[in-house]
Structure 1
Amino acid sequence: MNAPATPRERRQPTAQEFREMQTSPQFVELKKTYRNFTFPMSIAFFVWYLVYVFTATYAPDFMAQPVFGSVNVGVVFGLAQFITTFVITWIYIKYANKNIEPRAAAIREQMEG
């Protein structure tokens, strides 16, 4: 009977190797790529959330305006919050798979491979 195949052993990098990698150009570029997406998107979503909260707090008459049937602007804004959360997540996954994961995998391979 054949023995099951074992996964390739990965080398455990030393603390010094991790410190050196943190200052390497490829790691700095990875951090920059990550931040170029996450910071602007986080700020945009936070501002959108604050618009929702402040509008609900300071313009309740506007939020109570009917859109159709018993659905009002507040309900539409609330649903839009959920929708934008899922859309941002989907956009981030696409962005990360294209721009972040290949760079992270290359660094991981260099460190552990």
Structure 2
Amino acid sequence: MGNDALNAENAMPTADFAAVRESEQFRTLKRAHRRFVFPVAIGCLVWYIVYVLLADYAHVFMSTPVIGSVNIGLVLGLAQIATTFIVTTWYVSYANRRLDPIATEIRDSVEIADTVAR
């Protein structure tokens, strides 16, 4: 490889990221992301705090047997773990449907602009 090839490969991108950040597409992407993430994060946090408070202050309730020696506390604790996987799967599905198409459009427009600028 000659020096020209190395310079072309290592060239800094010329995309105007400030303009991308101010574009309507990027604002739409941020709005769609926040519309999902903030309510779900708040819901998960509330669910976790309720679990912790129940474990700390509702000993009788949490030690109520469900099946054999499995009690409500154990069931709710396992539900905390299940919630993590459910929310992760839900977010991936949401991102694939709503966020990724917008992000792809933004990326493609930046790459085209970068290619044209070179």
* TM value normalised by structure 2: 0.83
Counterpart of 2:13 in 1: which secondary structure?
A: coil
Residue 49 (1) aligns with residue 48 (2): yes
Q: Which has the higher helix share?
A: 2
The one-character-per-residue Cα deviations of 1:6-49 (angstroms, maximum 9, x if unpaired) are xxx8x8244xx101111110000000000000000000000000
Fraction of identical pairs, as percent: 47
Equivalent position of 2:100 in the other structure? 101
The one-character-per-residue Cα deviations of 1:42-78 (angstroms, maximum 9, x if unpaired) are 0000000000000000111110110011100000000
Q: How does 1:8-87 map to 2 (within 5 A)?
A: 12-14=13-15, 17-87=16-86
Bigger-Rg structure (1/2)? 2
- Give the partner amino acid of 1:12: P
- Give the partner amino acid of 1:32: R
C-alpha displacement of 1:112: 1.6
* Gap change, CA 1:66 and 1:18, over 3 Å in 2: same
- Give the partner amino acid of 2:75: V
* Gap change, CA 1:67 and 1:13, over 3 Å in 2: farther
**Unmatched 5+ stretches in structure 1:** 1-8
The one-character-per-residue Cα deviations of 1:64-112 (angstroms, maximum 9, x if unpaired) are 1100111000000000001111011111011000000010011011112
Counterpart of 1:92 in 2: which secondary structure?
A: helix
RMSD of the TM alignment (CA)?
Answer: 1.6
Counterpart of 1:12 in 2: which secondary structure?
A: coil
Q: How many residues align?
A: 103
Counterpart of 2:66 in 1: which secondary structure?
A: strand
